[in-house]
Amino acid sequence: MEDWVYRQAVPPRPTSAAFKDDLSNEVSVFIATLTTVDRILDGHPGDSVAQITAGQARAQGYKIIRDPDHGLVPNDPSHVVLCPPPGLGKKRSTKAARALAESATWAYLRPKDS
């Protein structure tokens, strides 16, 4: 079975902006089988949640690293970070982020005007 990971995103479509981080260059995501959409949206009621597979992230060169210390709660086993392909340094891979956005689907899409 494919492992899905969740990432907050802004409607109307998951965009590459959701898969970038201008400071750390790492993308914080959550393993779908170890959390819920409701937990991710706790405190962020206006957001939506996009999902990609771990395989799609790996196909773009990202490594998936467990990071339980920076999740939603202390020792959060669902929290992982997507580390960009080696060699990019601080330069974000806009192309890789765009590819992730293209392959993303909505796990939860906030109803319009809600």
**Which tokens sit at 70?**
């920076």
Q: What is the CA radius of gyration of the chain?
A: 13
Residue of 33, 77, 88, 95 interacting with other proteins (CB under 8 A): 95
User: Of residues 37-56, which lie at the interface with other proteins (CB under 8 A)?
Assistant: 40, 43-44
Residue 33 Cβ vs other proteins, minimum distance, rounded to whole Å: 20
Quote the CA–CA distance of 66 and 68 in Å, as a whole number.
Answer: 6
Residue keyed to tokens 């996009």: 50
Question: Could you tell me if 29 and 76 are in contact, meaning their C-beta atoms sit under 8 angstroms apart?
Answer: no
**Half-sphere exposure for 107 (CA within 13 Å, toward CB):** 24
98 binds other proteins (CB under 8 A): yes
- Interaction between residue 88 and other proteins (CB under 8 A): no
Q: Please state the closest distance from residue 46 (CB atom) to other proteins, in A.
A: 11
106: β partners: 50
User: CB under 8 A: which stretch of 18-26, 55-63, 105-113 binds other proteins?
Assistant: 18-26
Task: Report the nearest approach of other proteins to the CB of residue 112 (Å).
Answer: 14
